[in-house]
Amino acid sequence: MYSAPLDALSTRILASHRPLMYQWALHLISGLSFIHTHDIIFGDLDLAKCWLSSDSHLSLSIVGFLDAGFTFKTTGRSYPGDRTSSAAFHPLEHPFEPTAQIDLFLYGCVVYELMTGAWPGSRLTGTSRREITMMIPSKRWPVLETEYMGEIVRKCWGGGFENAEQVKAEVVAFLEGLGWEIEGNDNLKGFDVADLEF
């Protein structure tokens, strides 16, 4: 599914498989949007917390909620959530509580991983964990080209969206700009995963 070599900074999803990643990115932001409308912060989003359906669409779903943060509506008491990822390029590496903005930052990281096959910063050989960690406060974002949703990813990392609905609207606009129509449960009309070779 990815260009060779698989461990290079230049590794990208093959053009033939890019629509599948676009569809998964749309599924993921739709899920986050739904979660946020219920005042839930997912917490520590990564691909390990995403499952694929067994149907012919290979739909992507968010599962687990092990690290979710939420507020009890009756008491107003908050539970901030937790972190399980050990990635250096991670906003919770810094002294932040999980928030909707952190969820959107991590959405950008997951889209980056879908498009490149690796978490941001994980292929920076010769770079220390501290240097990778400091990329976030210094806003030195890994490179990701526009056709791989790079502008949306950088905007997520830079706090350029107020909420998940804005991200979803931009993802839909991006896909429509490429000629895709969205149908049903946020699927790309005319895209058939059966046409892909794995």
Query: Is 124 within a domain?
Result: yes
Q: Is residue 156 part of a domain?
A: yes
Q: What is the pLDDT of residues 148-174, one digit of tens each?
A: 999 999 999 999 999 999 999 999 999
15-24, 78-87, 138-147, 153-162, range with the lowest pLDDT: 78-87
pLDDT for 181 equals: 96
Is residue 194 one of the residues assigned to a domain? no
Whether 74 is in a domain gets the answer no
Collect contacts of 18-22 with beta carbons under 8 A, ≥24 apart. 18/115, 18/147, 18/148, 19/180, 19/188, 19/191, 20/58, 20/191, 20/193, 20/196, 21/111, 21/114, 21/115, 21/148, 22/149, 22/175, 22/178, 22/180, 22/188
For the chain, what is the mean pLDDT? 88
Give the domain CATH number at 157.
1.10.510.10
Domain contains 149: yes
Q: pTM of this prediction?
A: 0.89
Which is more confident, 189 or 82? 189
How many structural domains does the chain have?
1
More confident residue, 13 or 70: 13
Average the pLDDT over 25-36 and give the result.
95
Determine the structural domain holding residue 146 and report its residue range: 15-63+87-186
Note whether residue 164 is domain-resident. yes
Distance CA 133, CA 197 (A): 36
Range 172-193 average pLDDT = 93
120 domain-assigned: yes
Name residue 60's beta-bridge partners. 52
Residue 62 has, within 13 A of its CA and on its CB side, a CA count of 27
Residue 78, domain member (yes or no):
no
State the average pLDDT over residues 163-189.
Answer: 95
